[in-house]
Structure 1
Amino acid sequence: MGQPNTHHKQLQRKLKNRHLQLIAIGGAIGTGLFMGSGKTISLAGPSVIFTYLLIGFFLFFIMRAMGELLLSDLKYKSFTDFSHHILGPGAGFFVGWTYWFCWVVIGMADIIAITEYVRFWWADVPLWLPGLLCIGMMAAMNLLTVRLFGEMEFWFALIKIVAIVGLILVGGYLVFTSFVNPNTGLPASLSYLWAREGGIFPNGISGFFSAFQIAFFAFVGIELVGTAAAETQDPYKNLPAAINRIPIRVIIFYVLALGVIMTVTPWDAVDPKKSPFVNMFTLIGIPIAASLINLVVLSSALSSANGGMFSTGRMLFGLSHSKAAPRLFGLLNINGVPAPALLFSCAFLLLGIVLLYQDGDIMNMFTIVTTISSIGFIFVWIMILLSYIKYRKIHPELHEKSVYKMPGGVPMCYACLAFLVFSLYLFTRDKDTLKGMLYTPVWFGILGVSYYFLYRKKS
């Protein structure tokens, strides 16, 4: 077992602060903001702002708990490592493989989405081509060096930032000039956030909670900053900086963007089936608005697939070193990249191309599997909190020495746990997401059997 341990020390810290900052931003801005915000607005009305604020608030504290744990011992390369060390090998096994599975599922969904976005411009493109090119290009760049992954995420995230800032500036100008919306015949006004029929909660508390399912998925990947921390320069400085800015990002990228949309077009006039971003840029006379937003959501899907490729490879690498995955996945290539683990994950992404050729309601199936994925992420976040609670109990000296303590400590962890459990309950309120919840025990059953036969008998 000596060889993998030697390689384990060679993970290279080549990600700079700007890479980690943009990876953090990219993780906090999902494609759901661009394409799914119309649906969340129609469900919750102006209260959708509080939906994103509430989820962002609790996820910030979960990321703070993760940050303190990662910096308590730089031998921890990800949350799988500290789950394994603090909660036991079973916890590390379940967390690592669940996180890998979640990103593989999202990656397959991204491949299908990328194909659809490319077909917007090139309707006759063979179904297999965009996804295959995407997987090939990102795999090649990820295999070369971690810094190339950082550069790709930097530019993908930058495109999303420019689009959102552009939307906020355009919307602000339209409100300031009392622009009359030709679709509604109404002038832009801040009062639409509270003065329309029904007020801030037009569909009641039920509508407010209905938006949670879509909004949660928009935040999936926010913990990617922790996976990347093992390969960043000066983690004591860069990781806290990336996590501490999450609240500002939530306010700018979600609250301001959604608020601006609803001041220019009243919430009850927003089309749930169309991107509000396209509508906003169309209003000021940009004829290629649809193409611009298609470019943005394409870059968002590429960013998600790229982040998934990075994180799944690192998860398998960490699992290998805790003896929870084949030893092969613990090897690095000459560039310090876990190549076998990366290529194994890429092979599963190819299934996304196969699904494009299947008959039947694929999108219905993907609603189910992405629900399973979202529940998997919630499970990972719960395990981060449980790890922190036990860490405070068994390592009080490390907490005392910590330069990055979690605000609120253990009581705040319990508040976050209560919020996540309540969020799981919300998944039972919709037929499609309930189906996903009912399938989830199958995955954990497979993991339980695998852990017993492949891991427990070795120890």
Structure 2
Amino acid sequence: MRSHYDHPSTAGARTGLPWFPVHSPSPQASDSGASDTLRRGLSMRHIRFIALGSAIGTGLFLGSAETIKAAGPAVLVSYIVAGACVFLVMRALGEMAVRHPVAGSFANYAHHYLGPYFGFLAGWTFVFEMLLVAIADMTAVTAYMGLWFPGTPGWVWMLAAIALIIGLNLLRVRVFGEVEFWFSLIKVVTIVALIAGGLALLVFGVSVGGHTPTVENLWSGAGGFAPFGVWGIVMSLGVVAFSFGGIETLGSTAGEADRPERSIPRAINSVPVRILLFYVLSLAVILCLVPWQQLDPSSSPFVTVFSALGLPAAQHIVNFVVLTAALSAMNSITYASARLMYGLAQQGQAPRAFGAVRGGSGVPLVPVLVVLGALLVGLGAFLLIPDTLFLMVASIASFATVSTWIFILCSHLAMRRRLRASGERTVYRMPGAPWTSVVALAFCVFVLVAQAFSPSTVWALVIGVAWVALASLGFLLLRGRGREPLDLEVNPASMAAAA
């Protein structure tokens, strides 16, 4: 069977799948201003930092205050356990993305391996997740700008953030990737500086805000290392999941990666280092510098620690960094959700207009406008409930995030079952499969069930279940569209390497 890579100009029309030619669009497409293909314009550097931009955002810089409040120093266990699950999810997604590098990624895989209904549900649940996280990040922007302009209404900064992010996502994908690279680089440099500086303070015993830095701060406080026991660790997992939410956007870059069989594995294999460095080590340093009871749960621990150092303008510098982090996450989320809606349109599970691409920039215009509409709805909600909007959308987003991981793992298990039956092998195999997928799946189910046992999260579970029912109704209303089996062809480079 011929591959879409062999005849990129005609193969897409044969199946309607989002396989993307590496050459420029035809003159006809350019003249009309629209086509049905995206462009491969993301380098290895772009792909790595798009994943970083999604995973290192408001969830870490602001949400970590809530996780510390819930579990104390034992929150480090939460991040390690959840991080291990995230890596398994990413390896499962990576194995599928290398074999089938398509836009929308795991929604296509769920459609192909689990059926049209699950493809529809997976795709739109991820869109739901991303839009919620984008609203949370946008809300955080108002908090950060409030430090510098306390008298300016928050909705002004929301509008400014919306205009910036939507504008960036209407440009060529390579421009988007370049901007995201620099956004993410600022965050990485800041976290590395915090870790290096914090370790130096620990070694030399320099006082931080009247407290002597020491590793003993991890267990010397009231209640020890885990002041709220195992239950505190369990209750923090929901917010931790929100912190990691969005890292699966890396799979959405497969359709626009120059060489997915090389770039995707390299990016995913770096996930454990990112988690240990940017989450576990940075929070461990913070907890050693300042006793966890002294951290304000309503403020970023990063801002608190830098402010306590007493350095000139330190608070403002870090505030700029966390502001950049929120904008970076919004940027990556807009990119990923727009590409996923594009992929859903290619499957017949979204209006056809969602699958049209601007000929000049290669950007799916209508999906980007949908994100714009969602952000404006979030702006309206902020005007009604400014004090509780962030925690509300973060809790609901946790449900959607874990549900997305479940779809990825179930699709991977179904793919592995087919591969075993046909005697095929993939070039980028998930270690320990299928048992590692089963373990990660059990963890995800456990996190969802745990939401039912806390008054602060049970309502988010109820809303999540309501979303599933609403999405299911949407599938039924399609009246047959997108119900045919989805035939994903295999990347020839993956086949050759696995042979």
TM exceeding 0.5: yes
Distance in 1 separating the partners of 2:246 and 2:340:
14
The match for 1:79 is: 106
The match for 1:345 is: 371
State the one-letter code of the partner of 1:383.
F
Contact 2:54 2:333 (C-alpha < 8 Å) held by counterparts = no
Matched, 1:248 2:245: no
Q: Secondary structure at the match of 1:201?
A: coil
- Per-residue CA deviations over 1:386-415 (Å, capped at 9, x if unaligned) read 111111112337884312100110111111
Matched, 1:105 2:141: no
Name the CA shift for 1:450/1:304 in 2 (closer, same or farther; >3 Å). Answer: same
Name the CA shift for 1:138/1:399 in 2 (closer, same or farther; >3 Å). Answer: farther
Distance in 2 separating the partners of 1:399 and 1:244:
26
CA RMSD of aligned residues (A): 2.3
Distance in 2 separating the partners of 1:429 and 1:193:
27
1:387 pairs with one of 408, 411, 419: 411
Q: Secondary structure at the match of 1:357?
A: helix
Distance in 1 separating the partners of 2:396 and 2:364:
27
Name the CA shift for 1:233/1:213 in 2 (closer, same or farther; >3 Å). Answer: same
Name the CA shift for 1:95/1:268 in 2 (closer, same or farther; >3 Å). Answer: same
Contact 1:7 1:330 (C-alpha < 8 Å) held by counterparts = no
Name the CA shift for 1:370/1:38 in 2 (closer, same or farther; >3 Å). Answer: closer
| 1:98 CA drift (Å) | 1.1
The match for 1:134 is: 161
Contact 1:28 1:219 (C-alpha < 8 Å) held by counterparts = yes
Distance in 2 separating the partners of 1:399 and 1:53:
35
Contact 2:169 2:335 (C-alpha < 8 Å) held by counterparts = yes
2:355 pairs with one of 327, 330, 336: 330
Distance in 2 separating the partners of 1:179 and 1:439:
48
The match for 2:28 is: none
Contact 2:208 2:290 (C-alpha < 8 Å) held by counterparts = yes
Matched, 1:375 2:399: yes
| 1:108 CA drift (Å) | 2.4
Name the CA shift for 1:431/1:366 in 2 (closer, same or farther; >3 Å). Answer: farther
The match for 1:260 is: 285
Distance in 2 separating the partners of 1:292 and 1:97:
37
1:189 pairs with one of 214, 221, 236: 214
The match for 2:50 is: 23
Matched, 1:118 2:145: yes
| 1:131 CA drift (Å) | 2.3
| 1:250 CA drift (Å) | 1.0
- After superposition, residues 121-200 of structure 1 pair within 5 angstroms as 121-184=148-211, 187-200=212-225
Q: How many residues align?
A: 455
Q: Secondary structure at the match of 2:210?
A: coil
Distance in 2 separating the partners of 1:281 and 1:435:
35
| 1:76 CA drift (Å) | 6.0
Distance in 2 separating the partners of 1:322 and 1:137:
30
State the one-letter code of the partner of 2:461.
M
State the one-letter code of the partner of 1:356.
F
- After superposition, residues 192-211 of structure 1 pair within 5 angstroms as 192-211=217-236
Distance in 1 separating the partners of 2:56 and 2:367:
26
Contact 2:218 2:288 (C-alpha < 8 Å) held by counterparts = yes
Distance in 1 separating the partners of 2:191 and 2:460:
31
1:282 pairs with one of 307, 316, 326: 307
TM-score when normalising by structure 1: 0.93
Contact 1:368 1:435 (C-alpha < 8 Å) held by counterparts = no
Name the CA shift for 1:8/1:344 in 2 (closer, same or farther; >3 Å). Answer: farther
Name the CA shift for 1:402/1:52 in 2 (closer, same or farther; >3 Å). Answer: same
| 1:163 CA drift (Å) | 1.4
Contact 2:19 2:255 (C-alpha < 8 Å) held by counterparts = no
The match for 2:250 is: 225
% identity of equivalent residues = 36
Distance in 1 separating the partners of 2:188 and 2:263:
20
| 1:149 CA drift (Å) | 1.6
| 1:455 CA drift (Å) | 4.0
Name the CA shift for 1:145/1:215 in 2 (closer, same or farther; >3 Å). Answer: same
| 1:153 CA drift (Å) | 1.6
1:308 pairs with one of 322, 333, 336: 333
Which is further off, 219-228 or 293-302?
A: 293-302
The match for 2:491 is: none
- Per-residue CA deviations over 1:297-338 (Å, capped at 9, x if unaligned) read 211111121122111211111111110111111111112211
The match for 2:487 is: none
2:434 pairs with one of 394, 400, 410: 410
Name the CA shift for 1:378/1:6 in 2 (closer, same or farther; >3 Å). Answer: closer
| 1:4 CA drift (Å) | 10
The match for 2:76 is: 49
Distance in 1 separating the partners of 2:467 and 2:197:
45
The match for 2:459 is: 435
Distance in 1 separating the partners of 2:289 and 2:422:
51
Distance in 2 separating the partners of 1:408 and 1:118:
46
The match for 1:401 is: 425
| 1:435 CA drift (Å) | 0.8
The match for 2:490 is: none
Q: Secondary structure at the match of 2:224?
A: coil
Gaps of 5+ in 2: 1-11, 21-36, 484-499
Q: Secondary structure at the match of 1:166?
A: helix
Q: Secondary structure at the match of 1:431?
A: coil
| 1:66 CA drift (Å) | 0.4
Distance in 2 separating the partners of 1:274 and 1:156:
22
Contact 2:139 2:390 (C-alpha < 8 Å) held by counterparts = no
- Per-residue CA deviations over 1:208-236 (Å, capped at 9, x if unaligned) read 22222221111111101111222111111
- Per-residue CA deviations over 1:242-273 (Å, capped at 9, x if unaligned) read 11111111111112111111222223333333
Distance in 2 separating the partners of 1:205 and 1:75:
41
Contact 1:19 1:153 (C-alpha < 8 Å) held by counterparts = yes
Name the CA shift for 1:125/1:362 in 2 (closer, same or farther; >3 Å). Answer: closer
Contact 2:103 2:340 (C-alpha < 8 Å) held by counterparts = no
Structure with the larger helix share: 1
Name the CA shift for 1:122/1:271 in 2 (closer, same or farther; >3 Å). Answer: closer
| 1:457 CA drift (Å) | 6.8
Name the CA shift for 1:94/1:447 in 2 (closer, same or farther; >3 Å). Answer: same
State the one-letter code of the partner of 1:145.
R
Distance in 1 separating the partners of 2:300 and 2:55:
19
Distance in 1 separating the partners of 2:423 and 2:391:
41
Distance in 2 separating the partners of 1:427 and 1:247:
26
Q: Secondary structure at the match of 1:15?
A: coil
